[in-house]
């Protein structure tokens, strides 16, 4: 995903973003059984490492996730024991995500790539109302800045208009996570995520729009999903 001359100028945050860190909460609401807290985050970009080191930075519009996947590694990054044990039942919305992306443009991210997201799903249900992921994509689109997206939500099709424009310039790749095609197995491991058929349909819509899509099959669980 090459970056052209119209680079997105962003501050380089040398410190590691606190996976669940933020300033004082602004307000609390609920989405079904999940607690939703609006916060002002300390940072929005984190230098990548580990299995996503192919990208330069990660960007998480939310902390926490309402999908409640039983195998999710992100829960282990949560410092608060109560929140860690209640993973899948709360989300912190980084209301200032766009402002953090736009302000204090001290150093351009020339030829750098962004991974969205490492410890949350950018298209979980609250994105329908908060639209933080879409707002950031609009900024990246205008700046011709490359991004990779991973999600297990069919909600990604809402942004086909932006993603198709970016795909024409080789600026975006979307990965859809499909753990199992068996609805019963999928529901037991990913109780509030999109059903397998909805994810397959999202893949179909994205590819039909010319957007490059990868299918992530993980985790593969012996004697449960390895035969698929």
Q: What is the DSSP string of 51-103?
A: GGTTSSEEE-SEEE-SS--TT-GGGGG---HHHHHTTTSEEEEETTHHHHHHS
Residue 108 has pLDDT above 90, yes or no: no
Rounded to a whole number of angstroms, the distance between the first and last alpha carbons of the chain is: 31
| CA separation for the pair 77, 64 (Å, rounded) | 10
Element (H, E) at 115: strand 114-116
Collapsed DSSP state (helix, strand, coil) of residue 29: strand
Look at 49-63, 119-133, 136-150 and tell me which has the smallest mean pLDDT.
49-63
Q: What is the pTM of this model?
A: 0.81
Half-sphere exposure of 11 (CA within 13 A, CB side): 12
Break the chain into its structural domains and give their ranges: 9-216
Residue 24 has pLDDT above 60, yes or no: no
Question: For all residues of the chain together, what is the average pLDDT?
Answer: 83
Residue 11 structure tokens = 């501050």
Contact 53, 115 (CB under 8 A): no
| CA separation for the pair 90, 83 (Å, rounded) | 8
208 Cβ contact partners less than 8 Å away, ≥ 6 residues apart: none
pLDDT at 43: 80
Contact 35, 28 (CB under 8 A): yes
């Amino acid at each position: 995903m090459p970056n052209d001359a119209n680079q997105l100028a962003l501050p380089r945050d040398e410190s590691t973003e606190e996976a669940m860190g933020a300033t004082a909460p602004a307000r609390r609401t609920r989405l079904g059984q999940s607690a939703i807290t609006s916060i002002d985050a300390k940072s929005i970009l984190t230098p990548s490492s580990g299995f996503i080191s192919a990208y330069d930075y990660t960007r998480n519009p939310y902390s926490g996730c309402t999908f409640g996947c039983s195998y999710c590694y992100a829960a282990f990054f949560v410092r608060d024991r109560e929140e860690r044990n209640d993973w899948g039942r709360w989300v912190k919305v980084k209301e200032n995500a766009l402002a953090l992306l736009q302000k204090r443009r001290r150093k351009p991210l020339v030829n750098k790539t962004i991974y969205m997201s490492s410890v949350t799903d950018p298209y979980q249900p609250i994105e329908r109302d908060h639209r933080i992921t879409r707002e950031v994509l609009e900024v990246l689109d205008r700046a011709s800045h490359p991004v990779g997206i991973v999600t297990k939500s069919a909600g990604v099709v809402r942004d086909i208009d932006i993603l198709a424009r970016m795909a024409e310039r080789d600026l975006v790749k979307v990965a859809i996570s499909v753990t199992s095609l068996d609805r019963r197995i999928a529901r037991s491991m990913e109780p509030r995520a999109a059903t397998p058929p909805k994810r397959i349909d999202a893949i179909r819509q994205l590819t039909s729009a010319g957007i490059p899509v990868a299918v992530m099959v993980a985790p593969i669980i012996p004697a449960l999903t390895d035969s698929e």
